[in-house]
Amino acid sequence: MTVRGVRGATTVDHDEEQTVLVATERLVETMASENGIEISDIVSVLISTTVDVQSAFPAKAVRTIEGWNFVPVMCMHEMDVDGGMPRCIRVLMHINSETPQQDIIHIYQNEAVKLRPDLKK
């Protein structure tokens, strides 16, 4: 089995705790379901946010999903680059998988679809 990376990103309209948590949960659950990922196959989840997301730790959303409480999760801020997408939450999920890298389905939601139009389904 090989470790693969599954990417995802979403945006929120405003920086409020519940908004950030709901968007993060929706994103990681979609990443898992679209790729047929079992919880036991998740190695770790890295989450970054732009610096304008400060109301909540998105990792809290992952840890509260049923069965995900033992998944290693870490949050950090994204680089603050002029012209970058505002209020953006990015996820890199490491998984054990036999799926070839080119067949991994990366998930981009809300305004984040503009980040990787080449990966649209």
Chain-centroid distance of CA 56 in Å reads 15
Catalytic pick from 38, 75, 88, 98? 75
Catalytic pick from 16, 17, 38, 63? 63
75 is catalytic: yes
> Within 10 A of 21 (CB to CB), how many other CB atoms are there?
20
Instruction: Strand 73-77: give its sheet, edge to edge.
Output: 73-77, 42-49, 88-97, 2-11, 107-108
Catalytic pick from 26, 29, 34, 116? 116
Catalytic pick from 4, 87, 90, 98? 90
Catalytic pick from 7, 25, 29, 111? 7
87 is catalytic: no
7 is catalytic: yes
26 is catalytic: no
Residues designated as active site: 7, 63, 75, 78, 90, 108, 116
